[in-house]
Every structure is written in C-alpha cells, then in structure tokens.
Structure 1
C-alpha cells in the first residue's frame, strides 16, 4: 500500500475540502474473497490524485489483505480492527492485547469448546478444531461441486475454507490483537460476553455457517473508531473531514467517529439506519458511486 504522492495543498472536493476516507474491505471493496468491482480501483486512485487520503479500515491483519485490494494503492491502513495503524510505511498505532487479557480470552474460548482464530499483525493462527472445521467445510464444497450441485461464491467463507493456517501453538501470545470465533451455539456471543465482561468488545461475524454463531473479540478500547481518532490526531485532520464506508458491525465505531458515514447497499440494516446515506452494493459500483456523491471524483 504505497503512500500518497499528493501534496497537502492538493485539489479538493466540490465543497472545497480535502477529505480522508476509511474503507472497510470485506463487503465494501472485496466481495466473496477476491472480487472487486472494476470501478473501485480507478475511483480510489482518482480520489488520491485529487489530493484526498484513502485508508483501508479492516478487521483483517495487514498480512491478510488480498492482492486484488493491495494493488489498488492506499495511503495507509487500520488493520486488525484498530490494533495496528500505518500511514505509508510509518507505524502510528500498535496495541496488541495485554498478555493477561489474551490468556483470559483463550480460557473462555476453550472452556466453551469454541473454535477460534488468533490474529496478530503478521497473520492468523487456527485452533486445531477450527482448522478441522475449515478442512471439512472445504471437502463438503468439493463434494457438492463433484455432484453437480450449486456452490455459491458466498458459501466459500470468504476464502477461509480453501486455506491452511498455522496452529495457535505457533502464535506469539504477547502479540495477539484479536480473535475470530465460531460457536456451535446460537448463544455463543452472549456466553462469551458473560464470561469476559466489560474488558472485551464482542461483535457478531458474518461467516455463512449453518446454525451456531460467530464473531470477533477485541479489547474494549481497540476499535476502528478509536484507531481513526488516534490517526486523525497524528495527521492533524478534523474528524468532520473524515468519511467512513462500511457494511458490518465492526464498522459501527468508525461510523460514530467520522463526520460522514456511508453504508454499502449490502450492509447490515441496522448500519444503514445509522449512515448519512446508503450507496449501491459492493459489486454494483458501491465505492465509486459513493465517491461521486461525496464529490471526491
């Protein structure tokens, strides 16, 4: 993600303002693991050429950004749901979970028999049962295809089922930023919230699994929103000039911080209700249409 080549005195939008945009990845730029609307890259590059800043803001780790997204070019990124923030090559924020908090989180996940990934700035690590679930799911998809049955792109678990992950035994537990979990119980989120209390933020996920529940666990104060506040202070930019574009629950705090909030057409209904406006779907030129409406291009 190369830094912007535009100067601070670059062009501005039709309202005479230089803006900074924070784009979620999955469901906003990227659909079903690898698909990006043809209009998205040119729109982002045009906005940057006009003097605006465009940052990624994602729950993914920096090492897990799909090449189809990275190659577009950005001014920096908020990754791991706000645990790591970079501006160009500079690390602005780095705040892994305290080791004691990681130990508490792991104890709760294991006591409930909940499958999980651990995310660090370097990538994702799978518990043994999570790796088994991914292998079984991939095998089931292959069997369905071999039988001539339809396999929808959204059934791919955004590419997770086809991948292999290192074991959590290999993870540096002093550098864990967050966890992504899959529970067999519909009450999985509430069980973890009861176990972990106010120290953690636990939000629903969007894995298309039958039954059960899934979600993300971060430190209560580590969100996309708090990360953006720290970055804006570092850059000397007013939050009123910040724009958030997203589609899911982990975008909520980002919406609350930025002066303008834009929900994708495919966003959660509750998020749409909080947005200043709703653009089109991710593959229906959602980002480009939002940028046009905002006067960025």
Structure 2
C-alpha cells in the first residue's frame, strides 16, 4: 500500500522543453525522496508511450500516457482504451474537409498530416542529443495502418473552422481545447480521446491499481490538457509558468519550473 500517488505532466512541468529535454537533477532527487517516503510517482502525459522512451529509465512507478488512454504499471497488465477505428476514419475525412492537421498516436507509432509531420520531425531532432537518437515512431498519415489509435491532436487554421467542426464532432470523442497553452499563430488546437478518457480518469485508475485512495492523490501540471487531472485528483498543483486558465482551478500554485516548482510544492504539502 502506497502512502499517496503523485502524477506529473512532462512538458512545462518536469521538463522545460524550450531549453532541454532533461529533468533537472534537483527535481529527480525530490521525486526520489518522495518515493523513499512511501509515495508512488507517475508520469501523466499527453505523449504516446513511444514519446516517453527517454523517461522510462528514471525510476518512475508508472506511466499514464496518451491523455489517459494508456496506463503502464510494472507488474500489472497494461490498460489501453483506443478510439474506435470508424471514428478515426471519420475524423480523417473531417480534417480534410475543415482544413485541419492531425497527429495520431498509437502505442508505439504516430501518424501525422503534412504540417504536423514536419513539426514533429523538428521536435524529434531537438530531443536527439549526445549521440542518442530520439525515435517517436513517426509516420505520415497516409501510412496509417491497423494500429489502435489512443489519442489524436487536431489543429485548425482559425477558431471559426474549429467551431464549424465542433458542431459535427462525433459525440463518442472527448475533446480538450489546448489553444491557451499551445499558441497556434491565430489558429486553434485540441486533443481527442475516446469519450470518458482523460488524464484525470487515467490518473485515478492508476491510483486504484496501486491501492491508493483518491484522497491521497496529487497532480502537477501547466497546460489545459492537465485540467482534468488537477480536477480529479485530491490536490491539483499548477506550476508558476502555467496557463492562467489552469491556475484558476488549481488548489495550489507553486513556483516556476526553473525556480524549484516541483520541489517547493512537495515541501508545501509535507511530502518531502
């Protein structure tokens, strides 16, 4: 039985991805101390499992990935809740009609339309360093196969096009608008999962799998796709560098990611 579960977003929370893909040693030591004191520490990210490859050897107790559509905890069966294939095909057709870009993630691979493909190839190059090549399993959308899709990003060139699409969006899809966190040069962006699947539901299911009561769950995030886990967990912590909308729903606002944000929050709650 663990004392509590701590769920950490990656980009903007554990990692300042504008500067590096690495977690600061001070943050890693704070996490290790929490673990020594009986807390389970898990990553809870919108990234696919392939996108978490560089964080699989840092000693975390589990991973909630693809916005809650996948859960991996050592010694337990992996949980996957993909978007039904028929909805994926319908989404691709709608994206063409409404001039939207898609980035779809399965367990080990991802499929992107043209602009997203180029952007993710650049991101893959940023993550590759010190002779170690990052591999996001990236393919063009035309190469889409039968791999179950767990999560999809969608980007529109204007808010008007997003609103038109929302009017016809399939109700079996969960949608989070992430424009406030990821500026799109006048456009809008969002993330899609199977209905009822969010980072928040994934975090609570992972906590249950670890025998942890909801009353002892803590979520750390910075962007609007973290809102569900800040709401669902007993304690929602927003980084000082968070989107203003996220700060409004947080139980506690810690300092900036580069100003001991994680460590200060863990100390505030008496976890370390």
Please give the range of the TM-score, normalised by the shorter of the 2 chains.
0.7 to 0.9
Checking the alignment, whether the CA contact within 8 Å between 2:12 and 2:241 is kept in structure 1 is yes
Q: State the match for 2:44 in structure 1.
A: 57
CA contact (8 A) 1:37 1:284 kept: no
Tell me whether 1:184 sits opposite 2:157 in the alignment. Answer: yes
Q: Provide the alpha-carbon RMSD of the alignment.
A: 2.5
1:294 aligns with 2:238: no
Structure 1 residue 158 displacement after superposition? 10
CA distance in 1, matches of 2:16, 2:257: 7
1:254 CA displacement: 0.9
> 1:214/1:100 Cα in 2 relative to 1: closer, same or farther (>3 Å)?
same
Q: Which residue of 2 aligns with 1:149?
A: none
Q: 2:234 aligns with which of 244, 247, 259?
A: 259
101-110 or 180-189, which moves further after superposition? 180-189
The runs of 5 or more residues in structure 1 that have no matched partner are: 1-7, 10-17, 139-155
The equivalences for 1:204-219 within 5 A come to: 204-205=177-178, 206-219=181-194
Please report how far the alpha carbon of residue 62 of structure 1 lies from its aligned counterpart in structure 2 after TM superposition: 1.1
Q: Alpha carbons of 1:177 and 1:231: their partners in 2 closer, same or farther (altered >3 Å)?
A: same
Select which of 106, 113, 125 maps to 2:99: 113
Indicate the residue corresponding to 1:72 in structure 2: 58
Partner-residue secondary structure (3-state), 1:106: helix
Distance in structure 2 (CA, Å) of the matches to 1:110 and 1:35? 36
TM-score (norm 2): 0.86
Question: Residues 54 and 75 of structure 1 are in contact (CA less than 8 Å); yes or no, is this contact kept in structure 2?
Answer: yes
> How many residues are treated as equivalent by the alignment?
261
Give the conservation status (yes or no) of the 8 Å contact 1:187–1:212. no
State how far apart, in whole Å, the 2-side matches of 1:252 and 1:45 are: 25
Counterpart for residue 91 of structure 1: 77
Mapped to 2, the partners of 1:290 and 1:158 lie a distance apart of: 32
Q: Tell me the equivalent position of 1:229.
A: 204
Kindly name which structure, 1 or 2, has the bigger radius of gyration based on alpha carbons. Answer: 1
Q: Aligned residue for 2:131?
A: none
Contact 1:248–1:271 (Cα < 8 Å) also in 2: yes
Using the TM superposition, give the Cα deviation of residue 197 of structure 1 relative to its aligned residue in structure 2, in angstroms: 4.2
Q: Which residue of 2 aligns with 1:123?
A: 109
Q: Deviations over 1:10-47 (max 9, x none)?
A: xxxxxxxx111011111110112514333111111111
Does structure 1 residue 276 correspond to structure 2 residue 251?
Answer: yes
TM-score, length of structure 1 as denominator length: 0.79
- Structure 2 residue aligned with 1:5: none
Q: Report if aligned partners of 1:37, 1:285 keep a CA contact under 8 Å in 2.
A: no
Is contact 1:97-1:174 (8 Å) kept?
no
Cα distance in 1 between the residues matched to 2:241 and 2:125: 15
Unaligned runs of 5+ in 2: 128-133
- Using the TM superposition, give the Cα deviation of residue 204 of structure 1 relative to its aligned residue in structure 2, in angstroms: 2.5
SS of match in other structure, 1:252:
helix
Which secondary structure does the structure 2 equivalent of 1:172 belong to? coil
Q: Check whether the contact 2:4–2:213 (CA below 8 A) recurs between aligned residues.
A: no
Superimposed CA distance per residue, residues 208-252 of structure 1 (whole angstroms, 9 cap, x where no aligned partner) = 442212221222211011112322333332100111111111111
2:148 is paired with a residue whose SS is coil
* In 2, Cα distance between equivalents of 1:245 and 1:20: 11
- The structure 2 residue matched to 1:240, chosen from 197, 215, 224, is 215
